[in-house]
Chains A and B, each alone.
Chain A
């Protein structure tokens, strides 16, 4: 059954934290709430768990209204950022606590705890206390505690943020595999757009208590709803070029010194003449060593080697900067003059005032 959030509002005192959040999570999907800190994503997760009460609005699981139920009655499971393992209980006790509270018979608890421990490969740790475990092991115990009850909804609050970079990549894959195996709806909170992109079926990008866009990772990457989403998703972040305009079916960019670059758009995409904010991802910028027609003249100001790619900072016109991502073998050095062109189909046009995408 799908989960519906209807017009959720939440404020702490006079401070509004969530404003009219209206989402539907299809059954068995992996949903990610992503946004900068303070965007309300964790609050929304806590409202789903029942740890916070929404100021108004309701949550439905199928036809059942669950927003009035206490956390323990909702039968959801949550993995905390800090893991929140019970320090005085061993791993067996930690995983089995939820079953014990619910009055499950002892041998049944033991059977299910061992089953989960086998899946998570922590059977040999069952007698240990949390303080005797490594970060990755604690993570698995926290996961086991959530899995053992077979809840209909998994909530995860930045579960990977306390792990080192390498382990984080491994656990990312594992979490995704567990999700496929468990087939329970999962709501995952993170501030890391890469985690959101790699793991999710759907992403809700949040900022200032508002869901800016709720769509699949591909949609969000290719057709960001506004400049916030465009700038937040994707690494390195999208370049924005101010001072552009649509004129006669082309985008004109003022390059300083009165020079103008022109990019032809398909008639359908162009629309009426108007000023626009141009967005282009570093991967979609073409950098040429020689003069091109309708190209922006720029100068290389910084080169960063990433391994298989290079990040090139380019300055043009009146001190504006763009970042381009090129192959590592491109022969570019600081101070080189280059010419930039754009693939018109990869350009994003935004309203300069509202930031809304003009051709979603």
Chain B
């Protein structure tokens, strides 16, 4: 029996280690490549721990230094990166934060409305919104391009912001709807009897109780818009208006691929999200509202 337990826990550990390795390897490899000098990137045998350490790639990205590559005995300037990296980064931050803010404000109010007010159709709205989320983006992106084009918004950050809202809003609303349903209506009634107006009840009682749900929806929205490639590829056609995802693709330049810059960009793209996630994780823990009612 004891031997069996030992084998079982060993197997569990092995599986966990393997999965962890599989999940982390791309990031570890990106980090490793980003601090190697160009000659070591394609070295055989490959090394995870670099022999020579350099922060040149990061410096180039942040300062936007013009890059050259060798072609036919001559040095040719690269057409794109990294001089646009900082604006790509800023674009990504603007559209992600902007679309998340819009999406959260609207979905919170909408979800509250469908859970608490009585009107025709309030029961099916959440399911319809989930249905909307299930339609693949690739089907939506071209009609939306036409709409953006009519609105003269193509090639602006607005087109991306609205595009992302169209994906994240329905799902956020559905998520928050489930959350609001779990908040006992007596809490709001108690506050109303205590003298609070509907708006005050919403701000003082409902929002704090729904905070874990709102944070979850916000993180979801941020990740979706931060990682989007498709909308940016279709809506934006000037290099300086691109977000990071499509921008980084410009490190592929026909004959020349700058792996170092690309991996450094990947690391810089991942770090803010990872840090944010770690900071917010505490709030995501379920059971925040436990103890409100009953025993």
A contact set with B: CB distance below 8 Å: 49-51, 70-74, 76-78, 80-88, 97-98, 101-102, 129-135, 138, 145, 149, 162
Contacts and interface: CB of A to CB of B under 8 A. Distances in A.
A71 B189 contact: yes
A101 B291 contact: no
A132 B200 CA distance: 26
A207 B149 CA distance: 66
Interface stretch (B73-81, B133-141, B191-199): B191-199
B292 A130 contact: yes
A114 B145 CA distance: 62
Contacts of B192: 50-51, 70-72
B292 A87 contact: yes
A76 B211 CA distance: 30
Nearest to A139: B295
B277 interface: no
Contacts of B293: 80, 82-85
Nearest to B205: A86
A51 B201 CA distance: 14
A97 B290 contact: no
Nearest to B292: A87
17 contacts: A49-B189, A51-B192, A73-B195, A78-B189, A80-B189, A82-B292, A84-B292, A85-B293, A86-B191, A97-B191, A98-B193, A101-B194, A101-B195, A130-B291, A131-B290, A131-B291, A162-B294
Given A87-B288, A98-B195, A131-B290, A51 B189 contact: yes
Contacts of A81: 186
B195 A135 contact: no
Contacts of A76: 193
A245 B189 CA distance: 53
Nearest to A98: B194
Chain B interface size, as a band, is: 20 to 34
A247 to B, nearest CB: 56
A84 B291 contact: no
Given A72-B193, A85-B291, A87-B209, 11 more contacts: A51-B193, A78-B189, A83-B293, A85-B293, A86-B190, A86-B204, A88-B209, A130-B291, A131-B291, A149-B194, A162-B295
Interface of B: 184, 186-187, 189-197, 200, 204-205, 208-209, 211, 288-295
B292 A85 contact: yes
Contacts of A71: 189, 192-193
Q: Which 8 A-B pairs have the closest CB atoms?
A: A131-B291, A82-B293, A98-B194, A84-B186, A72-B195, A87-B292, A135-B295, A84-B190
Nearest to A70: B192
Contacts of A133: 291
A164 B208 CA distance: 31
Given A85-B292, A87-B288, A49 B205 contact: no
Contacts of B291: 85, 87, 129-133, 138
Nearest to B188: A84
A138 B295 CA distance: 9
A258 to B, nearest CB: 58
- Residue with the greatest number of chain A CB neighbours at <10 A, chosen from B184, B191, B196, B292: B292
A109 to B, nearest CB: 12
Contact of A86 (B211, B288, B292): B292
B189 A97 contact: no
Contact of B184 (A49, A73, A74, A84): A84
Contacts of B194: 72, 97-98, 101, 145, 149
A80 B294 CA distance: 10
Contacts of B187: 84, 86-87
Contacts of A70: 192
Contacts of B289: 87-88
A83 B186 CA distance: 8
Given A84-B186, A87-B209, A78 B292 contact: no
A243 to B, nearest CB: 47
Contacts of B295: 134-135, 138, 162
Contacts of B193: 49-51, 71-72, 74, 76-78, 98
Contact of B294 (A82, A97, A102): A82
A147 to B, nearest CB: 12
Nearest to A96: B194
Contacts of B195: 72-73, 98, 101-102
Nearest to B287: A131
Contacts of A132: 291
Contacts of B290: 87, 131
A78 B193 CA distance: 7
Contacts of A101: 191, 194-196, 200
Nearest to B186: A84
A131 B187 CA distance: 14
Given A85-B291, A88-B209, A135-B295, A80 B197 contact: no
B189 A84 contact: yes
B282 to A, nearest CB: 14
A257 B219 CA distance: 82
A149 B292 CA distance: 21
Contacts of B200: 101
A83 B294 CA distance: 7
